[in-house]
Amino acid sequence: MAFLPINEKEMRERGWDSVDFVVVTGDSYVDHPSFGTAIISRVLEAEGYRVAVLPQPNINSDKDFKQFGKPRLGFMVSSGNIDSMVAHYTAAKRKRSDDAYTAGGKAGKRPDRAVIVYTQKIKSIYPDSPVIIGGLEASLRRFAHYDYWDDAVRPSILFDSGADILSYGMGEKQTVEIADRLNLGFPIESLYDIRGICYAVDTKDYTPGPVVDLPSYERVKENKKDYAVAARKELEESDAVRGRVVIQRHGKKILIQNPPMMPLSTEELDKVYSLPYERYYHPSYEALGGVPGIQEVEFSITHNRGCFGACNFCSIAFHQGRAITVRSMESVIDEAKKLTENPRFKGYIHDVGGPTANFRMPSCKLQEKAGLCKNKKCLAPTPCKNLQVSHTEYIEMLRKLRSLPKIKKVFIRSGIRFDYLMEDESREFFRELVAHHISGQLKVAPEHCSAAVLDKMGKPHIEVYKKFQDEFYRTTKKIGKEQYLVPYLMSSHPGSTMKDAVELALFLKKEKIHPEQVQDFYPTPGTISTCMFYTGLDPYTLEPVYVPKTPEEKAMQRALLQYFNPKNKALVIKALKIAGRMDLIGTGKNCLVTPDRSFVQNNNQKNKTTKKTNFKKNKNSKKHK
């Protein structure tokens, strides 16, 4: 095994004078299957192609882009594991100082809108070289989309970048098909029938057919109702079984999205994870302190893909899809055995999970032929009557992992769907989870307690979480362990009024939950929640949705979730006044905060004014009598 070349010197050391593909990424080069760049480059290598990886090239010079020469077949471009704007900015639009996917952990090594910048640079140097863009940034921005940082609707990233083809979703199958056809000498235009891609044609060259025609870029930019309709249709057609061709006009061009590529089978997924990854960052980064992003994933195992939970604020449904695909138990066990041979392994597998750790099967038996239901959720607000629930295979896999030599502990740190777990009448997995797979804390995501807000999030109502919480602590106590739940909570999600935020604060007080961190809703491209944030409409009903947008209101909603922090007192008092809950300011056991001096003074002044007014009224009343 060896890292793929990241510069001309390493290419020459392999005895190559050229490469077939250059894979450009906004991340530092980490050859681990948790990184999309590693998977795509190794998949191409396994098909016999010469692949170089170009991590974080200097965009102020042509030198990095030219060092391998013009690749024989083309460039593959992504921003890295996450959207470059999310990597650079907080939900408050403040510049981040760190970057977990960059050597040394320092921000600033990739440009804003990396896919656009890299592609435009490549096209300026090699205008006739095919450029295929992919990864999360390209996938989520494939249609006209609201951009939080511009506070405006941008066109498809295909047009902004000038790329030839956009590969959306996980990408392995279409990448190989694209590579094979280019290798046979076919022109780019002959690749337009491949599933899982987007491409563009002139309107004059477009032949109308049976397609889903979205409101145009111009319409969604000007009309928020059209934007909401488009956002709903885009997600509706993201199912690999029933998804259709989707088009969206952009001026004199038409964006065409082919139906999604079919998910990898278990056998295909096993093959992807058996490729010869180094499972570490490139040695050139050692002097910089390594790449922080490897720490949580180096000794973690991904056993599934997709998520039928499909929360409205999450991009997984739009990128990976809702259909669950899994690796075989043998493949997972084999990877664990390889981990134990690593000299850095200390006996702890940090995670055996995926987008949702405890999904090992399709949500129902109807999916294979019909696909997942359109505009319905499998779990929220209540579980579908056709939901099939079982943790049997997952339990067996975890037991086999625990029994392997050199393994001291197997943790589950990626998300557990507690609502799915609670539907399992057998509590065997629940007991095993509590007994064997928690490192003192289990992170779960109720997100809110208000039914109105949870409905907009696409999450189950809080009663399910409360039942789970009670059972968790009973089970923990029964086995004699001291373990805790760490709930993820979100403030300022569309639908959350100040009264809803107060309701959540009261819930936290009642349940004695003191969250150390609170996540503000972050409007990332391509999600239903982002559509609600921008349009103020629910795309499924087109009914108005309240959206907290001002920095001040967001700060107040966030402060309410940490009402117990003295630093938040002024904001909490202000929020309670706005919500009409002055009764929660005081020293009573149900109060959230004690009054501050200005509040007492204002109240005293109001009381004096009231007394004077009442006195005058009584005096006048006596005179009148």
Q: Specify which residues 353 forms β-bridges with.
A: 302
Tell me whether strands 348-349 and 409-410 are parallel, antiparallel or unpaired: parallel
Q: Please, which residues have CB within 8 angstroms of residue 189's CB and are 6 or more apart in sequence? A: none
**Is residue 447 situated within a structural domain?**
no
Q: Please, which residues have CB within 8 angstroms of residue 362's CB and are 6 or more apart in sequence? A: 308, 323, 324, 368, 388
Last residue of a domain, one of 156, 172, 195: 195
- Reading the block at residue 461, the tokens are 């109502």
SS3 state of residue 422: helix
So what's the pLDDT on residue 205? 87
- At 268, which helix (H) or strand (E)? helix 266-273
| Burial of 617 from C-beta contacts in 10 A (0-12 / 13-18 / 19+) | exposed
**Is residue 236 situated within a structural domain?**
no
So what's the pLDDT on residue 625? 47
So what's the pLDDT on residue 385? 95
- Reading the block at residue 287, the tokens are 């002097």
Q: Specify which residues 66 forms β-bridges with.
A: none
Q: Please, which residues have CB within 8 angstroms of residue 522's CB and are 6 or more apart in sequence? A: 86, 91, 148
Contact 294, 350 (CB under 8 A): no
So what's the pLDDT on residue 596? 78
Residue 67 phi/psi, 5-degree rounding, is -65, -25
Mean pLDDT by 10 residues, the chain (625 residues): 92 97 98 98 98 98 97 98 96 95 95 98 98 98 98 98 97 98 97 98 88 97 98 96 97 97 97 97 97 96 96 94 96 98 96 96 92 94 96 98 97 94 96 94 95 97 97 95 94 97 97 90 97 98 97 96 96 97 94 79 55 56 53
- Nearest-10 crossing angle of helices 428-436, 462-478: 60
C-alpha 209/C-alpha 247 separation (Å) is 10
Number of domains forming the structure of the chain? 2
Q: Please, which residues have CB within 8 angstroms of residue 201's CB and are 6 or more apart in sequence? A: 253, 254, 256
Strands (E), 398-483: 409-410, 441-447
Last residue of a domain, one of 170, 195, 220: 195
- Reading the block at residue 222, the tokens are 């000007």
**Is residue 436 situated within a structural domain?**
no
C-alpha 289/C-alpha 146 separation (Å) is 37
* Residue range 242-294, pLDDT digits in tens: 999 999 999 999 999 999 999 999 999 999 999 999 999 999 999 999 999 99
Last residue of a domain, one of 150, 172, 195: 195
- Reading the block at residue 526, the tokens are 């391509």
337 C-beta neighbours (distance < 10 Å), count: 14
Tell me whether strands 131-133 and 74-77 are parallel, antiparallel or unpaired: parallel
Contact 307, 374 (CB under 8 A): no
**Is residue 14 situated within a structural domain?**
yes
Structural domain harbouring 172: 8-195
**Is residue 344 situated within a structural domain?**
no
So what's the pLDDT on residue 610? 53
**Is residue 339 situated within a structural domain?**
no
| Burial of 160 from C-beta contacts in 10 A (0-12 / 13-18 / 19+) | middle
Residue-wise DSSP of 40-98: HHHHHHHTT--EEEEES--TT-SHHHHTT-S-SSEEEE---SS-HHHHHB-TT-PBPSB
* CATH, residue 109: 3.40.50.2300
**Is residue 66 situated within a structural domain?**
yes
| 3-state DSSP of 122-168 | HHHHCCCCCEEECHHHHHHCCCCEEECCCCEEECCHHHHHCCCEEEC
**Is residue 333 situated within a structural domain?**
no
